[in-house]
Amino acid sequence: MDQKENNSRRNFLDKGLKIGLATAIGSIGFSKLAEALTTQTAKDSTDKMQLMTTNGTLVEVDTSEVVEMINGQAEHIMYNVREGIPNRKFVMVIDLAKCKNALKCQESCNKNHFITGDNPWLKVHKMQADDDTAPYWMPTTCMHCDHPACVSVCPVGATFKRKDGLVLIDNERCIGCRFCMAACPYSTRVFNWSEPDQGDITMDMHMHGEEHYSPEYAGLPSVKGTVDKCDFCPHLIKENELPHCVTACPNGTFYFGDKYEDTVTNGDETLRLSKLLTDRAGFRLMDDLGTRPSVYYLPPVNRLVDFKEGLKNFSEYKTDKKPE
Amino acid sequence: MKNYDKLLNDLAPQKFGKAGVIWTSSLIVIIIIGLIAYIDQIRKGLVVTNLNDYALWGIYISNFVFFVATSFVASVTVAVLRLTNNSWRTPIVRIAEIIAVACIIMAGLTIMIDMGRPDRLLNLFIYGRMQSPIIWDVIIIPTFMIISLLLLYFPLLPDLAILKTHFKEKNPTLSKWYGRLSLNWTGNPKQTKIQLKSIKIVALLILITGIILQTIDAWLFSTLFRVGWDSTNMGAYFVSGAAVAGLGALVTVVYVLRRAYKLENYITNIHFDKLGKFLALACLVYLYFNINEYLIPEFTSKKEEISHLNLLIDGQFAPLFWLVIIGGLIIPTIILLFKKGRTPFSIFVVGLLVVIGSWWKRYLIVTPTLLHPFLPIQGVPKSWQHYFPSWHEWIITIATLAMALLIITILVRFLPIIPIEKTANEQELLNKNTNS
């Protein structure tokens, strides 16, 4: 009985293997054939097309080689999460003249990234360089540096820099050594010291159309023993929407955009990035450290709001605006 | 021949007395309590510590740095004294090797306690990136561990063969183990030649890897932007600090073992005098680097440097800072500079001061810097502006220290703490000289 069963299994395996092998060889053959046929037609084509390159010279191209260009802004283009959206370079401009510490940015960020602890990713600092100089409010996000100290020191590549400028964290790879937190001069990174209390996050994930964990949606879910931080909301920008803090700000303090397109917008107005930075003397935070941040600041001059107005929202020792 | 028997009886490993049993079992109890606390930490996460997003490293890291520093003892005594032909080193080198092995094993273990996800340890090998100083550490710590084990093992071979015959009747199982480990050592010229050559190579390697290890440990901090770490002084500062910690630990352990095993005939006052001078030299060098580290930034008075230094000099860390600098460095140096200060007991006390000072010194390197970031600490709970270890952290850290002591105790129980063969040879040589 045993013997027989063994035999039949062996036969089955034997046959299965042979059939599988035959199919594989067959399909390779077919694909080769198909390839040969297509190249044949391509070679036969004699239609030429005149096109102008970006630097203005006319070139002639075979029509068969002309493919419609995928628009850089097109939604749902496939790209490697660790490489980023092709041909984009995301930047943010924060206008310190407009911030009044309303904390709507923080509220929206906390709510949409399910941040429930004492560790908001977006902070608004009360700054004053010296007793004689004026105080101002300064929102800080992750600076998404082009020379990120956190990425340099990460031993496992859990935090990585993308070509589109974003610095993201893979919470499924992070070992929780917190070296990146020590490396970041902006103290932007936070740690999940305990199991994050995020409610029924799996339900939320379905609601947001995210079936699986992705570094492109930080906080969904946060993982115990790993590092979190502002992610510039790639889950929104790939849908051509603005990050939560930008849309939430009542004063239009945050501008978001693409450096290659040289435009930034706060939702109300769209401005030329280079002109804005030149006209308003834009600067980057601790630029002397060589971190080359993607976040620019405009100095707090000609302010629209009174600094004191923000004080009612300010408490030195507590986080505000947790999600309801 | 009678001399030799006495020597063997004096130096062969002995069973624990009552004190030994109490000592070992209390160490084991402490370790078990620490293990329970660690399991609790794994279950609940690092929330059981008092660490926070600003004080993101605490005593787990400073304790790790302490272990790494103390493991330097093998490089600084065994290798340096060998290369400089200091023959008085014979009775103390084995103890130094044992301390180094215990400390580097514990360094490897303690760094894992700090990890948020110890379950992902293998990621270091799967995704390791050479540019991260942590990977440098992952490479150098096992390397140093292997070399320090070899440095303990190679010189042991003749002694293991001696112990094999010594325990043949008294304890056959133990004798069998000594036999296996002695690798058929007979002491013929061919074997001796290979052994001496191997020891020479390993001694040189331990010096090189020791300096690399300490330097990488310094780079874990100096590759970061933070004020107090971002200093070109760090590498040399850590190497010299490690010499102090290692020698401090050595004199303390040597004193305790001498008393416990009545080795006054072998480890004499001369040895303590020499060790005392060596420790004084290490302290002076370390003091020099401390002056560079703390005094020179005061001169240019950069805003951030000054507020960091103020934390140490007259801020919240001032009492600890001055205790460590004065009690753990200046006073020991002054005591050791006088001949009367270099008696065994005095050196033991100095050693204790130095070791305790060295431990807290690492705390002062790690914590104040983190509590002084570039952007102000705002909008977080008030407790995040301070850091002092929680009970979990203390219990686990004390357990790691106990584990280091337990490793030392076990090695001392089964290995001859003073090289038998070498001592016998030296005494024979001495006798020959006096007779002729």
**Separation of alpha carbons A220 and A212, rounded Å:** 9
Confidence at residue A67, expressed as pLDDT on a 0 to 100 scale: 66
* Three-class DSSP labels, chain A: CHHHHHHHHHHHHHHHHHHHHHHHHHHHHHHHHHHHHHHHHHHHCCCEEEEECCCCCEEEEEHHHCCCCCCCCCCCCCCCCCCCCCCCCEEEEEECCCCCCCCHHHHHHHHHCCCCCCCCCCEEEEECCCCCCCCEEEEECCCCCCCCHHHHHCCCCCEEECCCCCEEECCCCCCCCCHHHHHCCCCCCEECCCCCCCCCHHHHHHHCCCCCCCCCCCCCCCCCCCEECCCCCHHHHCCCCCCHHHHHCCCCCEEEEECCCCEEECCCCEEEHHHHHHHCCCECCCHHHCCCCCEEEECCCCCCCCHHHHHHHCCCCCCCCCCC
Which member of A182, A224, A316 has the closest CB to residue B56? A182
- Tell me the pLDDT tens digit for each residue of B225-235: 999 999 999 99
Contact present, B358 and B244 (Cβ < 8 Å): yes
Is A182–B224 a contact, with Cβ atoms under 8 angstroms apart?
Answer: yes
Q: Which of A71-75, A256-260, B419-423 has the lowest mean pLDDT?
A: A71-75
Distance of CA B93 to the CA centre of its chain: 14
Percent of chain B with pLDDT over 70: 99
Judged by phi (left if over 0) then psi (alpha if -120 to 50, else beta), residue B31 lies in alpha
User: What single-letter DSSP state applies at residue B325?
Assistant: I
Domain boundaries, chain A: 90-313
Contact present, B257 and B171 (Cβ < 8 Å): no
Distance from CA of A102 to the nearest CA of B (A): 14
Q: Element (H or E) spanning B40, and its range?
A: helix B18-44
Confidence at residue B357, expressed as pLDDT on a 0 to 100 scale: 97
Is B120–A175 a contact, with Cβ atoms under 8 angstroms apart?
Answer: yes
Where does the pLDDT of residue A34 fall: very low under 50, low under 70, confident under 90, or very high at 90 and above?
Answer: low
- A193, A288, A318, best to mutate vs chain B, most B CBs in 10 Å: A193
> Does residue B155 have a pLDDT over 50?
yes
- Tell me the pLDDT tens digit for each residue of B367-396: 999 999 999 998 888 888 899 999 999 999
Is A286–B374 a contact, with Cβ atoms under 8 angstroms apart?
Answer: yes
Which member of B45, B220, B375 has the closest CB to residue A193? B45
Q: Which residues, including other chains, have CB under 8 Å from residue A74's CB and lie 6 or more apart?
A: none
State the complex-level ipTM: 0.91
Top-level class of domain A90-313: alpha beta
Is B47–A140 a contact, with Cβ atoms under 8 angstroms apart?
Answer: no
**Separation of alpha carbons B158 and B283, rounded Å:** 36
Q: What is the mean pLDDT of residues B258-281?
A: 94
User: How many other CB atoms are there within 10 angstroms of residue B331's CB atom?
Assistant: 16
**Any bridge partners for residue A146, and if so which?**
none
Distance from CA of A22 to the nearest CA of B (A): 36
Is A123–B52 a contact, with Cβ atoms under 8 angstroms apart?
Answer: no
H-state helical runs in B223-233:
none
Residue B26 phi/psi, 5-degree rounding, is: -70, -35
Name the CATH code of domain B14-373+383-419 (choices 1.10.3720.10, 3.40.640.10, 3.40.50.1000, 1.20.1630.10): 1.20.1630.10
Q: Is the pTM of this model over 0.95?
A: no
Residues of B within 8 A of A123 (CB-CB) are: 378-379
For B174, the token pair is: 């133990």
Task: Say whether residue B112 is in contact with chain A using an 8 A CB cutoff.
Answer: no
Q: Which residues, including other chains, have CB under 8 Å from residue B228's CB and lie 6 or more apart?
A: B308, B365, B368, B369, B372
Where does the pLDDT of residue A42 fall: very low under 50, low under 70, confident under 90, or very high at 90 and above?
Answer: very low
Task: Say whether residue B225 is in contact with chain A using an 8 A CB cutoff.
Answer: yes
Task: Say whether residue B125 is in contact with chain A using an 8 A CB cutoff.
Answer: no
